[in-house]
Structures are given as C-alpha cells and as structure tokens.
Amino acid sequence: MQSVLKETGRAELAIVVIAALLFASFWFAGPAFAGADTTFDTALNKFTDFLEGSGGKIITVLSLAGGIVALASGRFSMGQIAIPVGVGVGAGTGIPIVTSTVTATI
C-alpha cells in the first residue's frame, strides 16, 4: 500500500494538505472563553423551563399511563414500574443537576 502511495505521489500530497489544514486552523482560530457564548441561552431556558414545569409532568404522566396499560394487559415486569419512576425523577431532579453541572465554574 505504501509503495502505491509513494509511486503516485499521494503521500506527499496528503502531508501537504494536513500541514495546510493545521496551519489554517491555528492561524484563523480565535480565543474561546468558557461561558461567554450566549447563542443558545434562549433555547436552553425555554427547554429547561418546559421540562421542569408542565412538560416534565406531562412526560411523567404519559410514562405512568403506558406502564398502567402494560400492567392491565396481564404481563408484569419491574420495568413497568421502574421506567415511570425513573422518568419522573429524571424530569424533576435530572434537569437541575445537568444545568448546574454544565454552568459550574471551574
């Protein structure tokens, strides 16, 4: 494989292209400041408010209803109880944990 690359000159071309990409990425890269970007703050706030409020309750109730329907069908498994509980805990406490972790200052 290497002999084919050397014969056609693709190895040298690949090295030149990689070097040019590295140079361009260092030359045109700007400084990045953690927490300074506010591009998605509006969407994040709306989505977080939705999940912590009525949206999280709706998701939990629908999950619970699905578990009850599965129980009524005559087959029982712990997942029918554990999944609605997990969804409720995730919607109630998971969102604040994730947002506080993401916005934490290190």
pLDDT at 5 over 70: no
> Which residue in 59, 64, 66, 62 sits closest to 90, CA to CA?
59
pLDDT, mean of residues 39-56? 82
Predicted TM-score (pTM) of the model is: 0.49
CA-nearest of 34, 42, 46 to 104 is 34
In this structure, are 15 and 44 located in the same domain? no
21 and 42 share one domain: no
Q: Give yes or no: residues 100 and 54 share one domain.
A: yes
Q: Residue 94: pLDDT above 60?
A: yes
Domain that residue 5 falls in:
1-30
Q: Which residue has the higher pLDDT, 37 or 65?
A: 65
Closest to 56 measured CA to CA, from 96, 5, 2: 96
- Mean pLDDT score across all residues of the chain: 77
Q: Which residue has the higher pLDDT, 72 or 103?
A: 72
Q: How many structural domains is the chain composed of?
A: 2
Claim to verify: residue 4 and residue 42 sit in the same structural domain: no
Question: In this structure, are 44 and 24 located in the same domain?
Answer: no
